[in-house]
Amino acid sequence: MGSIAKLKLLLDTHIWIWSLFAPDKLTGTVAGHLESPDNELWLSPISIWETLLLVERGRLKVRGQPASVVNDMLKTGPFREAPVTHAVAMHSRRVQLPHDDPADRFLAATAVVYELTLVTADDRMLNSSGWSVLPNR
């Protein structure tokens, strides 16, 4: 009997936020994969930047200083950092997306460069190709 492969999951920004503040928005499949100790959870610094932007724009309400809240969010799990490297920056211009959102470009490129599965509910990311996805549908 073979062993089950460990999944290396890159959380899209909204999936990370939902996992902490609105877990009911996650499907049972996604929640199970995020909770499994067999899987690796990865975050891009782009998600930190995007979360801070959401707070600044009033689209995400938090109590306390935004930077402190994000630091606390990072402490909730064993997240691996997926750095924005030269390779990620270069690949961000090669990914095929129906829009030019820089955050999505960097997340897609990160998934490709680090060979991660992007966990997302974003139809624009799910309907594109070139990287592995775990849909929250």
CATH number at residue 19: 3.40.50.1010
pTM over 0.85: yes
Assigned domain for 123 exists? yes
Q: What is the mean pLDDT of each run of 10 residues along the chain (137 residues)?
A: 76 97 97 96 97 94 93 93 98 90 95 97 90 95
pLDDT at site 4? 60
pLDDT at site 37? 94
Assigned domain for 50 exists? yes
> In angstroms, rounded to a whole number, what is the distance separating the alpha carbons of residues 122 and 98?
12
Assigned domain for 33 exists? yes
> In angstroms, rounded to a whole number, what is the distance separating the alpha carbons of residues 81 and 16?
13
pLDDT at site 1? 47
pLDDT at site 98? 83
**φ and ψ at 21, to 5 degrees?**
-110, -20
> In angstroms, rounded to a whole number, what is the distance separating the alpha carbons of residues 88 and 110?
6
Secondary structure (3-state) at 118: strand
> In angstroms, rounded to a whole number, what is the distance separating the alpha carbons of residues 30 and 136?
6
The domain in which residue 12 lies consists of 8-135
